[in-house]
Structure 1
């Protein structure tokens, strides 16, 4: 009996667990149970799959056994063929079938292609043949490969099927050819060739593979253009892009390819050239180029114009797709015959890659240059055919017979020189020797003159794709004519060709128009605000960036302007672009941009390329400065110097912050070298002279005494008897090339002289010294040419001109690549190139010899001296400031304008002292007398007062201090004297104009000079 409320009740948890279990434990338990169920289901499914797979394997094995038995029972029958195709890549079965086909004879299998079951046989045999082709490609050294290839020979040979089947045989062969081309015939054959080691030329498979390479072009009618193009494209992309293809093949196979390569039909590829090139990697492009070079050049003469055009365009496209130097990696050692060592002049290395980001922070990402391919020495040797004189001559001769191919030839040479820059000089020089004049005339008159590039009415339309065909001819003419100018003397440059004399290929009128084109192109490219486009943008029609075009055009433009500067042939204002820009704003912007890119003291000087990138205006001023008026550039230079002084805190009037030096009369150079050799010459310099009695000369140096110091120092250091300087026939100075001048002490003197002349330029003080133009060119990093040699060594110049135009065999002259130097009676032989004594001067290399000799005499002999001088000069004057001028303009900056003295300008900027004023009777008489002097007497008068006989470059307002006249008493017997340090004429108060003229002429012609009274 239960008592209500006291019975024991069972506690039930509806969650399915005891009350002590937590909620987390419940979840974990449920998850574990679910995972167990899933694992069990997966095991069951996997077991079912494995069982099914195993049943399939067993069934396939059984089927293959059945198929194998079926095949062996009827290897050459239709059922056996079906079994073979179903079995697939079984090497043993394929070998049995190939052996059976060959044993039965070629006619047995071909006969089936004309019977009632023709289509079935065609389908099955094609599949079987593809299997044996794949087997031959994968295992080219297998013992069965030769049999496989012989079966393929039966099916693809253009002669076997027609011989067995009659007219229907050609259709069968074409059917098989079309099928195989659609199933990678040439890539598989290329794989087979590459699978045979290069040293195993005796492999029996190679001749059969080569036959298969050529069969399609004997089978396919070129009228079937799509199929023919497909075959040609596969051939080039496949076997012909293998490394060292000719080295892999036996001689008879090479001969077979040479005879059967379808070169005469290559014009069918004209529209597919880019497709071929783009399908290849960089190294494969080089290999294709090298392999074509092995087979194509001997057949140039047999080609029609369309085929020759296409092969040149293919060569060009392949080279255009390669990185610069791809054919001439740094490790390569060139042969003696093609050696073109870099000239050791002081020019900017514009061919080197320069990292602009090291100069200024820019956000643009500059991608690294593409890696150069790694090429076998045999490939490189084969590629030298491209730049050989024989190959270039063959092309010139062949294209002469086909005028329509000339533009393709010019594009080819341009691309060759671009991708192989070390060989560019050799190639261009040979073209110059062959017929450079005729080609230059043809280029200009036939293509460049009417191209519209750089025209005055549309100078900015350079990027128009419609003008893509015009760029190769213009740039090739630029390269060719630049090369011609290297060895073209002024007599030839300005010759009209009368009396059979050598003549310039372009008339002076044509050169005027051509230089205007180049000026417009160069200025447009330098003037672009966004220089990133110039650096990275591609030129239509050529594989060059705009920066490369700009450099080529600038090089030729500078050479033409140099000729015009020496002997004008263009009209006044020809080089200027003042109509295109506002000069006032140009000056302001140039000064601002120079401040923006100013570098710390001691930093490496910016190259012209870097400056062009950072500042369009400074790019113009440093590369084509002659497009801006000279007076504007001088004004910019003065602004640059003023800013530099301000940045350095230089005050010319601060007497307390001056470097001081005491120098003895008669020992100005020696004391100046000792006292100022390490001084900061940009600061004002205070000079104190010690007279011949050892007494200090009185007076305060307000700038005039330092000017006198410069004048006296120049007289001493530039005295040719001191051994540092020599003079040419025009009394122009250049460094002594002798051994003494290269000793350390002498180089220190050159460095000091450079600093002192830099100080003169910095202060605007004129110095009466004239340098040879070729030496001034070194200041600007420019290269000297043959025409510069005439002023240095007229006899050598005439000899080189004779050699250039010698009509006989130059080898009869017994010259080699050496030159003799004589010093102190001792002669020594200098090799112009390594092993130069073993290299004879021939018709093909005589221009190189002329250039080497000129370069040695004008540059190499004085390189160390010039470098030391320029090192000192650049301590004072920023390199980019100097590059705003040419040689003639630098001479004007140093010594004034070699023009008649403008008396009105002189009088307008003359100061008077003592009793004198502009209306004083003696002053009136002085100017009356001055007006009666001839030009030479006026220069002597200016020289007498200022120490320099040429007016300042911007007129007498620039003379520092101004020209001054002070009275010197009433003694009528006394001669006028001067203080050249302050440009002061001390003129007695003469009573008559006759006496004044007589005394003045006596003073200025007798050498009277500085007076301390």
Structure 2
């Protein structure tokens, strides 16, 4: 932040005060605590609930928001079906990829047309004997996302909160890579494939083109800035904070100091206890939007090359987060209630009883690995296990099928059909060891069907 100990106190002219009032009036989101101490709670509520003239599009969006989350998401998915390129009448997009060099397919992915991105993909892992009926596509998307979100790639980084979410790295300016990452994320949204990482709420807001950022959002990307702005809001800062309406941009590639002004002539305007609300509002916008602008534009360009942006209109940020990332936790009881059994197995068979006893004691991380082994994705759709589906949109519940036991027999996965084959083990320990082996080797080559 651009400090200035020598800047003289500037009296507020009428034009300056008018600018301040304009900013306050036009802010898309003004948290209550920004006003406490200056206005009554009643004043704040009146401001937040103020109605404006609404267009037909605005009214349609408000109507959509009245629906519950599941209905809003269902509406979006129904819209996706109207633009999907039918796999029965159109040739699928074939991609031959190397598991150990998964990102080598990016140039080919970048050349695909918008119609091809809406088509079914056929993924072939070179050197593996497997036909793709959807399971390999899910696995490929998950592997691509994991690779693109690795820290050494330099596109994304973990946020500074206890939640394991990811945000774009500051000032990456890598248009092509973000566009490709956007295409993968867009394809996952389009196909209903939950991602193996959770996106930062700031990024979710930007995808939906929402600007209602609060101070709590800053906590994800800069905890020291969050603490500083919170201190400014909660304390009288006159003669304590010497700060102007400007930001010192840290640029290691330049020896010259680069200052960005938050207002016209901002480096000449001191932050005072009277105008600090405006300063905090502008700093929130800068921290959550301005420094990511170019990269977010590229990411969104990639996402919306798969489907048009208007199809997400009406979604709330939490709706999209669940669409992209699935439910944050795996509910074992929901999993059990939405499981089918084939062959000799039923819910009262000893193998099935042992299976659920083992599953109930597993950590969330291990549950995700087992789910990825069985379905190709480590997360559950927002509607729960009853909505597991193939990439063609067919609902297929998680299924456990009987297979005879022989020495060293392992559990087999059929990710295209959300199914695992479990041998009829002679003991609970053998079953537990086989499950452990499956989740510890879920990223290795398997002859998946």
Give the equivalent residue in structure 1 for 2:250: 822
Query: Where does structure 2 lack aligned partners over 5 or more consecutive residues?
Result: 1-9, 391-395
Give the equivalent residue in structure 2 for 1:685: 121
Post-superposition shift, 1:678?
A: 2.6
Give the equivalent residue in structure 2 for 1:620: 63
Give the equivalent residue in structure 1 for 2:381: 952
**Which residues in structure 2 correspond to 1:517-556 (within 5 Å)?**
518=49, 547=53
2 CA distance for matches of 1:960 and 1:996?
Answer: 26
Give the equivalent residue in structure 2 for 1:669: 103
For residue 933 of structure 1, the aligned residue among 353, 361, 369 is 361
1 CA distance for matches of 2:33 and 2:370?
Answer: 52
User: Per the alignment, do residues 986 and 432 of structure 1 end up closer, same or farther by CA in structure 2, a change over 3 Å counting?
Assistant: closer
For residue 193 of structure 2, the aligned residue among 753, 759, 765 is 765
Give the equivalent residue in structure 1 for 2:40: 440
Contact kept? 2:403, 2:421, Cα under 8 Å: yes
Superposition RMSD on alpha carbons, in Å?
3.5
Give the equivalent residue in structure 1 for 2:424: 989
User: Per the alignment, do residues 932 and 755 of structure 1 end up closer, same or farther by CA in structure 2, a change over 3 Å counting?
Assistant: closer
Give the equivalent residue in structure 2 for 1:712: 143
Post-superposition shift, 1:786?
A: 1.6
For residue 219 of structure 2, the aligned residue among 774, 790, 809 is 790
Matched, 1:636 2:82: no
User: Per the alignment, do residues 677 and 756 of structure 1 end up closer, same or farther by CA in structure 2, a change over 3 Å counting?
Assistant: farther
Query: Where does structure 1 lack aligned partners over 5 or more consecutive residues?
Result: 1-335, 339-380, 390-416, 445-476, 483-517, 523-545, 551-608, 692-696
User: Per the alignment, do residues 763 and 802 of structure 1 end up closer, same or farther by CA in structure 2, a change over 3 Å counting?
Assistant: same
Q: Give the SS at the match of 1:814.
A: coil
Give the equivalent residue in structure 2 for 1:724: 155
For residue 131 of structure 2, the aligned residue among 700, 704, 714 is 700
Q: Which has the higher strand share?
A: 2
Post-superposition shift, 1:989?
A: 2.5
For residue 845 of structure 1, the aligned residue among 263, 275, 297 is 275
For residue 182 of structure 2, the aligned residue among 729, 754, 766 is 754
Post-superposition shift, 1:858?
A: 1.0
Give the equivalent residue in structure 2 for 1:978: 413
1 CA distance for matches of 2:359 and 2:148?
Answer: 36
User: Per the alignment, do residues 808 and 785 of structure 1 end up closer, same or farther by CA in structure 2, a change over 3 Å counting?
Assistant: closer
2 CA distance for matches of 1:924 and 1:385?
Answer: 72
1 CA distance for matches of 2:347 and 2:245?
Answer: 70
Contact kept? 1:832, 1:852, Cα under 8 Å: no
Q: Give the SS at the match of 1:831.
A: strand
Give the equivalent residue in structure 2 for 1:38: none
Post-superposition shift, 1:918?
A: 3.1
Larger radius of gyration: 1
Q: Give the SS at the match of 1:877.
A: coil
**Which residues in structure 2 correspond to 1:602-617 (within 5 Å)?**
609=55, 611-612=57-58, 616-617=59-60
Post-superposition shift, 1:619?
A: 4.3
User: Per the alignment, do residues 682 and 843 of structure 1 end up closer, same or farther by CA in structure 2, a change over 3 Å counting?
Assistant: same
Contact kept? 1:660, 1:687, Cα under 8 Å: yes
2 CA distance for matches of 1:432 and 1:918?
Answer: 56
Q: Give the SS at the match of 1:964.
A: strand
1 CA distance for matches of 2:233 and 2:315?
Answer: 32
2 CA distance for matches of 1:385 and 1:842?
Answer: 14
2 CA distance for matches of 1:871 and 1:908?
Answer: 37
User: Per the alignment, do residues 947 and 699 of structure 1 end up closer, same or farther by CA in structure 2, a change over 3 Å counting?
Assistant: closer
How many residues align structurally? 423
User: Per the alignment, do residues 663 and 932 of structure 1 end up closer, same or farther by CA in structure 2, a change over 3 Å counting?
Assistant: closer
**Which residues in structure 2 correspond to 1:807-818 (within 5 Å)?**
807-810=236-239, 812-818=240-246
2 CA distance for matches of 1:776 and 1:825?
Answer: 30
Contact kept? 1:818, 1:829, Cα under 8 Å: no
Post-superposition shift, 1:425?
A: 5.7
**Which residues in structure 2 correspond to 1:219-618 (within 5 Å)?**
384=15, 387=18, 421=22, 424=25, 436-437=36-37, 439-443=39-43, 477-479=45-47, 482=48, 518=49, 547=53, 609=55, 611-612=57-58, 616-618=59-61
Q: Which has the higher helix share?
A: 1
2 CA distance for matches of 1:802 and 1:904?
Answer: 44
| Structure-2-length-normalised TM-score | 0.81
Post-superposition shift, 1:817?
A: 2.3
Residues 450-470 of structure 1: CA deviation (Å, up to 9, x unaligned): xxxxxxxxxxxxxxxxxxxxx
Contact kept? 1:726, 1:735, Cα under 8 Å: yes
Contact kept? 1:978, 1:985, Cα under 8 Å: yes
2 CA distance for matches of 1:663 and 1:1005?
Answer: 23
Post-superposition shift, 1:663?
A: 1.8
Contact kept? 1:977, 1:1010, Cα under 8 Å: no
Residues 575-604 of structure 1: CA deviation (Å, up to 9, x unaligned): xxxxxxxxxxxxxxxxxxxxxxxxxxxxxx
User: Per the alignment, do residues 440 and 942 of structure 1 end up closer, same or farther by CA in structure 2, a change over 3 Å counting?
Assistant: same
Post-superposition shift, 1:771?
A: 0.6
Contact kept? 2:237, 2:272, Cα under 8 Å: no
User: Per the alignment, do residues 749 and 838 of structure 1 end up closer, same or farther by CA in structure 2, a change over 3 Å counting?
Assistant: same
For residue 781 of structure 1, the aligned residue among 209, 218, 231 is 209
For residue 169 of structure 2, the aligned residue among 736, 742, 746 is 736
Give the equivalent residue in structure 1 for 2:294: 864
Post-superposition shift, 1:978?
A: 3.5
User: Per the alignment, do residues 933 and 436 of structure 1 end up closer, same or farther by CA in structure 2, a change over 3 Å counting?
Assistant: closer
Post-superposition shift, 1:843?
A: 2.2
> Relative contact order: is structure 1 or structure 2 higher (C-alpha 8 Å, sep ≥ 6)?
2
User: Per the alignment, do residues 881 and 923 of structure 1 end up closer, same or farther by CA in structure 2, a change over 3 Å counting?
Assistant: farther
